[in-house]
């Protein structure tokens, strides 16, 4: 019981010291008119918020999500050869990679991946 009480006192003391040191050593932030504005994404806060985005931005974001999901599907295939036959493993992995590569080829041919039009 005595050890628990001493640990609690020590943890409280260390926490208070860290708070005190960080408040003393921290830089005081100067007031910036742009900082509290709700538009912290690179847009001018004085203009309208209804600026249309390019459709290419959304297509690149969707492509990123597709390939991100592809990685999460392919990672468990590393453990699958222990539980299924090798031929089935090759068929599943190969067909999945073929479909993703086919989609990438289609996006490339449609020039979706080009940043400058």
CATH 1.20.58.1610 at 55-117, yes or no: yes
C-alpha distances in angstroms, 113 versus 29, 67, 80, 89, 101?
42, 13, 33, 31, 14
Give the tens place of pLDDT for each residue, 58-115.
777 887 888 788 778 777 777 777 788 888 888 888 898 898 889 888 878 887 777 6
Alpha-carbon gap, residue 81 to 23, rounded angstroms: 56
Give the tens place of pLDDT for each residue, 10-69.
999 999 999 998 888 776 655 666 665 655 555 555 666 666 666 777 777 887 888 788
Q: What is the pTM of this model?
A: 0.44
The helix (H) or strand (E) run that includes residue 106 is helix 86-109
Alpha-carbon gap, residue 8 to 16, rounded angstroms: 12
In the chain, what are the domain boundaries?
55-117
């Amino acid at each position: 019981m005595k050890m628990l009480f001493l640990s609690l006192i020590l943890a409280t003391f260390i926490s208070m010291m860290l708070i005190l040191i960080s408040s003393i050593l921290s830089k005081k932030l100067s007031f910036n008119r742009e900082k509290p504005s709700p538009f912290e994404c690179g847009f001018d806060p004085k203009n309208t918020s209804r600026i249309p985005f390019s459709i290419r931005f959304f297509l690149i974001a969707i492509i990123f999500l597709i390939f991100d999901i592809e990685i999460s599907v392919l990672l468990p295939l590393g453990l699958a050869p222990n539980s299924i036959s090798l031929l089935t493993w090759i068929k599943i992995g190969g067909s999945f990679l073929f479909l993703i590569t086919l989609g990438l080829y289609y996006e490339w041919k449609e020039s979706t991946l080009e940043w400058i039009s």
